[in-house]
Structure 1
Amino acid sequence: MDTAGQVIKCKAAIAWGDHKPLTIEEIEVAPPKANEVRIKILASGICGTDTAALKGKLGTKFPAILGHEAIGIVESIGNCVTTVQPGDKVIPLCMPQCGQCRACKSPNANLCDKNDFTNNTGLMQDNTSRFTCKGKQVYHFVGTSTFTEYTVVSEISVAKVDPAAPLEVCIVGCGFATGYGAAVNSKIPPGSTCAVFGLGGVGFSALIGCKISGAGRIIGVGSHKDKFPKAIELGATECISPKDNDKPVEEVIRDMTNGGVDFAFECSGNIETMKTAFESTYIGSGVTVLLGVAGPNDKLCFHPGEVMMGRTIKGLPYGGFKGRDDIPKLIGDYMANKFNLNFMVSERMPLEKINEAFELMASGKGLRNLIIF
C-alpha cells in the first residue's frame, strides 16, 4: 500500500530522559512537509554521540529518538524536494549543508548554520516535530533520529548514495567521516608523526586517514590493548597504553618523537585525554585536533604560552566534510575499495536489543554495533 502522504505507525527506540534505558514503542511519523524527506531506515550505527546524549552531555531535549548514523531508502518526499526521489538509497546527515550560509559558502568551514548540534531545538526547520508517541510530542535528534523504522529529515540533511552500497556504509554518516576526515582534511605532510588517542570507531578511522595522508609514524594510544593488533593493521606503527608506564603518557610520547608529535587526534571526549593529546605535540608547531564530545561543564585549561610558542588546537566537526558534497564521494571511494569498513562492524542486532548494543560499546568491546531494521 502506498504510504505517501499518510501518517506511518512504526517501532522506534525512545529515550525518555538522560541516564535512562531506551524503550521500544509504537510511534506515529507524520508525512514530510515542503523541503522534507521521509526515510525508511535499513540500518543504524550506535555512536559515542548517542551515548553522550544519554549521559546529559549535549542538553538533548526528551523524550527523543536518538541515532544519527544510518542508511535508508526514501519512502516519500515533500513539495519542492529536487535532489532525491522515492526509492533512492540515502544517508541522513547530522551535519546539514544548506548551501546558503557563511559556512556552506566557505571552503574553510562546514558547520552549517542550520545544524542542530549548536541550535539544539530537537525540531524540524519549522520548529515542529514529525514524531508522536502515546499522544506526546517526541523530539528529533541532530536533524536525523535514526533509531526508528521511519524518520523525517530536511532535504539539506540527506545525501543520495550508490544504490549498491551495503548496510555498513551507514557508519560513514558520522564515525568514519569524523575520524578519517579529521586526518585527511588536516593536510598532514608526508612523513609527519601522529598520535591518535582513543581507539574506538573514530580513532580507528583517524588511523586510516593518517596512513592515507602519508604519515611516517602513527602512534595509537588506548587502554584496551586487545584493540592494538587491529590498530596496527589499519595503519598504526605502534601502540601504547597509559597504564604501561610509570610516567605520564605525554612524556613517553615526547621522548619517543624528539619533543612531540606533529599531529594529535583526540577521539575519546575525556577532558584529561584532550590535555594529554595537546601536551604530546611538539611545542614549536604541533597541531591538536579535538573530536570527542566533552561534558557541558568541562573546561580545558593550559597556559597561553603553550600556544604562543607555536602549537595549534582546533576542532573539525564531521571531520571537516560538507555532507551533501562529500559523503557520496566517500561512499564512492569505499565502493572502489580505497578503504575498508568491515573492521568497524562488531555486531548486527535488532532494534529490540538496542540497550544491549549500548552496553557493549560502553564496555569497550567492539567498535560499532549496527541496528538492523
Structure 2
Amino acid sequence: MTTAGRVIKCKAAVAWEYGKPLVTEEIEVAPPEADEVRIKIVATAVCHTDLYHLFEGMETELFPTILGHEAAGIVESVGSGVTEFHPGDKVIPLFINQCRECRFCKSPKTNLCDKGENGGHDELAFEKSRVTCKGKKLMPFMGIGSFSEYILMNQTAVAKIDPAAPLDKVCLIGCAISTGFGAAVNTAKVEAGSTCAVFGLGAVGLAAVMGCKFAGAERIIAVDTNPKKAEKAKVFGATDFVNPKDQKKPISEVLAEMTNGGVDYSIECVGNVEVMRSALESCIAAWGVSVIVGWTDREDFAARPIQLIAGRTWKGSLFGGFKGKDGVSEMVRAYLQKKIKVDEFITHTKTLPQINEAIELMKSGQSIRIVLNVSSE
C-alpha cells in the first residue's frame, strides 16, 4: 500500500526534556504539503551539535524535540510544486537552504540563503511542526530531526545525490565532513606549500586536516588534548601532533617556535572561546588567517586589536562555506571518485534504539563518528 498522501506512523528517538536520555517512541509524520519532501531516513550520524543542544545549549524550552541533522535517505513522496525530486531519489537533508533565487544564493561570496537556516530553531518551529507524538508537537532539530525513520523537509533544504552513493557513509557529508573540509578549502583558502594548524580532532577537525592536505599544505599540525587522536590525524594528512597539556608554554608560543613565527592558517574546531584566541595567536602576524568553526553561542570571544592590525585575518565558517545543494552533491561525487575520505571517520555503527549508547560513546570521546542504521535502502 502506498504511503503517499497519508500520515506515516514510525519510530523516532525523542528528547522529551533537556539533559535527559532519549526515548524511542512511535511518532506521526504528516504528508508533504506544497514545496515539501518526505524522506525515509536510511542512516544518520551523531554530531556534537546534537549533544550541545541536549546538554549544554540552555535552550530548555525547545523541547520535546527530535535531534539529528547529519543524515541521508530516500524520497518517499513529494508535495505540490516539487519538480526537482521524485520518489526513490537518494538525498541528503540540509540545515542550510539553497533557494537559488535570493541575493545570497546568487552571490558567490556566501553560502547563506534569505530563507535562513532550514525551518528555524525556535518557538516558531514548534508552531510549524507537523511531526507529533502522543498528541504533542515535536520540534525537528535544525529543521531536520533525523533521529527518525521519516522526516519532512522544504525542497530548498534537500540535496539530490548520486544514486550510487552508499547512504550509510555519505550521511557524514551532511555536516561534519563538509564543515571541516570546506573551512580549509573554501573559507581559509589554504594554499599549496603552506603551514596549517587544526585545533580539535573530532570529525570536523579531522575533515579540516583532510582539507588542508587536499589544498596542498606542506605542514599540518594537529592540536588536541587527547593523545589517542594522533594516529587518526595522520590518516587524514597531519604531519605533526601537539598536545597542549604536554607543553610548558602557551600553545600559540609552541606553534610559533615550530614554524618560525606562526602558521599561515589555523582552523579552530572545538567551540571554545579560549581555543579560538589561541588559534588566532598561533598565526603568523603579517598574513595569518584563522578560521572559527566550532559552534558555541554562550560566551563572547576576544583578542587584542594589534593582533589583527598587524595583518592577521579572523574569519568564521558555517557549513564550510558550501552552498547546500551544490556543495553536498559535489562532495558526494568527490567521495565516489576517491578524492576525499569518508569511511575512515566512522568508528562505530548502531541502530536507532541504541541512540543513548551512541551518545555516551561520543560524550566520553571514544568515537569519531557513530552511524545509526535507521532503515534499509
Q: TM-score, normalised by structure 1?
A: 0.96
Give the 5 Å matches for 1:178-327: 178-185=179-186, 186-296=188-298, 298-327=299-328
2:54 aligned partner: 54
In structure 2, C-alpha distance between the alignment counterparts of 1:122 and 1:150, rounded to whole Å: 22
Amino acid at match of 2:47: C
Per-residue deviation at 1:58?
7.3
Q: TM-score, normalised by structure 2?
A: 0.95
Per-residue deviation at 1:143?
1.8
Secondary structure of the residue aligned to 1:325 is helix
Q: Which runs of 5+ in 2 are unaligned?
A: none
Change (3 A) 1:118 1:156: closer
Give the 5 Å matches for 1:153-192: 153-166=153-166, 167-185=168-186, 186-192=188-194
- Conserved? CA contact 2:94–2:118, under 8 Å: no
Residues 303-330 of structure 1 show CA distances to partners (whole Å, capped at 9, x for unaligned) of 2121111111111100000011121111
In structure 2, C-alpha distance between the alignment counterparts of 1:361 and 1:122, rounded to whole Å: 28
Per-residue deviation at 1:234?
1.2
- Conserved? CA contact 2:104–2:114, under 8 Å: yes
Secondary structure of the residue aligned to 2:141 is coil
In structure 1, C-alpha distance between the alignment counterparts of 2:18 and 2:255, rounded to whole Å: 37
1:88 aligned partner: 89
Q: Which runs of 5+ in 1 are unaligned?
A: none
Residues 176-208 of structure 1 show CA distances to partners (whole Å, capped at 9, x for unaligned) of 000001111122121111000001100110111
In structure 1, C-alpha distance between the alignment counterparts of 2:58 and 2:269, rounded to whole Å: 17
Per-residue deviation at 1:233?
2.2
- Conserved? CA contact 2:119–2:142, under 8 Å: no
In structure 2, C-alpha distance between the alignment counterparts of 1:8 and 1:332, rounded to whole Å: 32
2:79 aligned partner: 78
Secondary structure of the residue aligned to 2:257 is helix
Amino acid at match of 2:311: G
Per-residue deviation at 1:127?
5.4
- Conserved? CA contact 1:351–1:372, under 8 Å: yes
Change (3 A) 1:276 1:345: same
In structure 1, C-alpha distance between the alignment counterparts of 2:320 and 2:121, rounded to whole Å: 20
Residues 307-358 of structure 1 show CA distances to partners (whole Å, capped at 9, x for unaligned) of 1111111111000000111211110111111122111111110111111111
Percent pairwise identity? 50
In structure 2, C-alpha distance between the alignment counterparts of 1:240 and 1:56, rounded to whole Å: 27
- Conserved? CA contact 1:289–1:316, under 8 Å: yes
- Conserved? CA contact 1:194–1:219, under 8 Å: yes
Secondary structure of the residue aligned to 2:73 is strand
Secondary structure of the residue aligned to 2:140 is coil
In structure 2, C-alpha distance between the alignment counterparts of 1:233 and 1:41, rounded to whole Å: 30
1:334 aligned partner: 335
Amino acid at match of 1:273: V
Amino acid at match of 2:151: T
1:346 aligned partner: 347
Per-residue deviation at 1:121?
3.2
Amino acid at match of 2:85: V
Per-residue deviation at 1:302?
1.4
1:8 aligned partner: 8
Per-residue deviation at 1:56?
4.0
In structure 2, C-alpha distance between the alignment counterparts of 1:331 and 1:230, rounded to whole Å: 22
- Conserved? CA contact 2:97–2:118, under 8 Å: no
In structure 1, C-alpha distance between the alignment counterparts of 2:316 and 2:209, rounded to whole Å: 17
- Conserved? CA contact 1:263–1:286, under 8 Å: yes
Amino acid at match of 2:171: C
In structure 2, C-alpha distance between the alignment counterparts of 1:14 and 1:116, rounded to whole Å: 22
Per-residue deviation at 1:101?
2.3
Change (3 A) 1:87 1:118: closer
- Conserved? CA contact 1:143–1:157, under 8 Å: no
- RMSD of Structure 2 on Structure 1 (CA): 1.6
Secondary structure of the residue aligned to 2:314 is strand
In structure 1, C-alpha distance between the alignment counterparts of 2:207 and 2:123, rounded to whole Å: 28
In structure 2, C-alpha distance between the alignment counterparts of 1:128 and 1:173, rounded to whole Å: 23
- Conserved? CA contact 1:144–1:157, under 8 Å: no
Change (3 A) 1:319 1:118: farther
- Conserved? CA contact 1:123–1:140, under 8 Å: no
- Conserved? CA contact 2:121–2:143, under 8 Å: no
Per-residue deviation at 1:119?
4.5
Change (3 A) 1:144 1:122: farther
In structure 1, C-alpha distance between the alignment counterparts of 2:71 and 2:326, rounded to whole Å: 17
In structure 1, C-alpha distance between the alignment counterparts of 2:22 and 2:84, rounded to whole Å: 34
Amino acid at match of 1:113: D
- Conserved? CA contact 1:122–1:140, under 8 Å: no
